[in-house]
Structure 1
Amino acid sequence: MSPSQVASSRLAQSRGSARGVWGGRRSLLFLVCLLALLAERAGAFQAVVELGPGQRRCVGEQLSRHVLVVGEFHIIYPVAATSQGGNMLVVAEDPVNHAPIFKQQGKDHVRTAFTTALTGTHTFCVSNTGRLKLTVDLRMVWGPEARDYSQIAKAEHLDEVMVQLLRLQDRLKLYHANVLYMREKESKMREASDSTASRLMTFCIVNMVLLVLAALASAYYFKRFFRSKKII
């Protein structure tokens, strides 16, 4: 083999290895972008609300079935929250009957955790049943963000890579469940729209038929009337 052929062969090998490295980097970049996208869609909400006497504030979140939800409600004002803790009422309601999934009163720091049984907008409400103004810090997480992966890693002896893959798998499951719910909701809305359009079309056809019949009846009546009067 001539020196030029050897050089060409080495150049082709280096290009092939460079393509392989670039392909691996592209796959890694795609995975990082996917993780970032899913992280943006991660389920978490935090806010500070002020409640006057008798006021109630609610937060609704669209959740699918079998989703872990963890909520924390903490009175940050007044500082002597122990004496005012009994004035905070925390209620979590289901999306269908608005029945209370969780309800607690009498504490300045309330923490709840449950798994959703229905798909829909779950409502979380905090009320001030006292006569003094309250400032409440509320924080809610759901889905993968509500799971303690450090405890899972210790229990199942998982390394960091496996934990991240497990987190990614849970986020993909949650995303897939949300997509299925949106498709189901879109299908129901389409069926309702088609049913409404069909009823409207039937109503228009019936009105047109009635108008034609009324016109024919009027023409027949007036024709007989004019003939009886010998006008025509």
Structure 2
Amino acid sequence: RDTLVTGEYEIGAPPGSSTGPSANLKITDSAGHILYAKEDATKGKFAFTTEDYDMFEACFESKLPVGTGRMPDQLVTLDMKHGVEAKNYEEIAKVEKLKPLEVELRRLEDLSESIVNDFAYMKKREEEMRDTNESTNTRVLYFSIFSMCCLIGLATWQVFYLRRFFKAKKLIE
């Protein structure tokens, strides 16, 4: 929650070419909200803050003029960082005039806070999954009981039906 995400990207030219086709970059969350978009991207940086734990999708869409044939291979480099690793502690040290030891303590404090937050999130997810598991187990139990009742009822009906059938055919008394 409220986690900084930063990244750098670079789209390399195809082998044997000095310039590559242009590409559009779009970063979206699982709900489809656009967090970052850039047209004709070749190299750059981006940053955004997440509102909640989520999955993000980075989409590079190459554009090639019509009639130029097959799309050449391109090398795309993407380096994304989030949380503590996304913070620039050198910049923080300059702004706040911190000593190297204080910067390291700040980094360790942020790291420990991040670990505590991750454990709290994992505990919450574990509780949700346990509740789902218990609910599923209860449903399976009730379905099993229902199935057994149906089978017992069907077997009882079959015995009475066959007894009546054989009595009608005078095979049993």
The reply to whether TM is greater than 0.5 is: yes
* Equivalent residue, structure 2, for 1:92: 27
Deviation at 1:217?
1.9
* Equivalent residue, structure 1, for 2:119: 179
* Structure 1 segment 183-222 matched on structure 2, within 5 A: 183-222=123-162
* Equivalent residue, structure 1, for 2:109: 169
Deviation per CA, 1:37-88, whole angstroms, max 9, x where unpaired? Answer: xxxxxxxxxxxxxxxxxxxxxxxxxxxx21111111123325744xx46x22
| Cα RMSD after superposing both structures | 2.3
Deviation at 1:228?
5.2
**How far apart, CA to CA, are the structure 2 residues paired with 1:206 and 1:133?**
58
Query: Structure 2 residue aligned with 1:136, among 40, 59, 76?
Result: 76
User: Between Structure 1 and Structure 2, how many residues are aligned?
Assistant: 164
* Equivalent residue, structure 1, for 2:7: 71
Tell me which amino acid in the other structure corresponds to 1:157: K
**How far apart, CA to CA, are the structure 2 residues paired with 1:93 and 1:70?**
14
Structure number with higher helix proportion: 1
Deviation at 1:210?
0.8
SS of 1:202's equivalent in the other structure is helix
Task: Report if the CA contact (8 A) 1:91-1:126 is conserved.
Answer: yes
- Alpha carbons of structure 1 residues 164 and 229: separation in structure 2 relative to 1, 3 Å: same
- Alpha carbons of structure 1 residues 185 and 115: separation in structure 2 relative to 1, 3 Å: same
Task: Report if the CA contact (8 A) 1:128-1:134 is conserved.
Answer: no
* Structure 1 segment 13-92 matched on structure 2, within 5 A: 65-78=1-14, 80-81=18-19, 84=20, 87-92=22-27
Deviation at 1:189?
2.4
* Equivalent residue, structure 2, for 1:106: 40
Structure 1 unaligned regions, length at least 5: 1-64
* Equivalent residue, structure 2, for 1:117: 51
Tell me which amino acid in the other structure corresponds to 2:23: M
- Alpha carbons of structure 1 residues 219 and 107: separation in structure 2 relative to 1, 3 Å: closer
Deviation at 1:138?
2.0
**How far apart, CA to CA, are the structure 2 residues paired with 1:92 and 1:178?**
23
Task: Report if the CA contact (8 A) 2:25-2:41 is conserved.
Answer: no
Task: Report if the CA contact (8 A) 1:70-1:146 is conserved.
Answer: yes
* Equivalent residue, structure 1, for 2:68: none
Deviation at 1:229?
5.5
Task: Report if the CA contact (8 A) 1:77-1:136 is conserved.
Answer: no
TM score, norm. by length of structure 1: 0.62
Tell me which amino acid in the other structure corresponds to 1:158: L
SS of 2:55's equivalent in the other structure is strand
Deviation at 1:197?
2.0
TM score, norm. by length of structure 2: 0.80
- Alpha carbons of structure 1 residues 222 and 107: separation in structure 2 relative to 1, 3 Å: closer
Structure 2 unaligned regions, length at least 5: 65-70
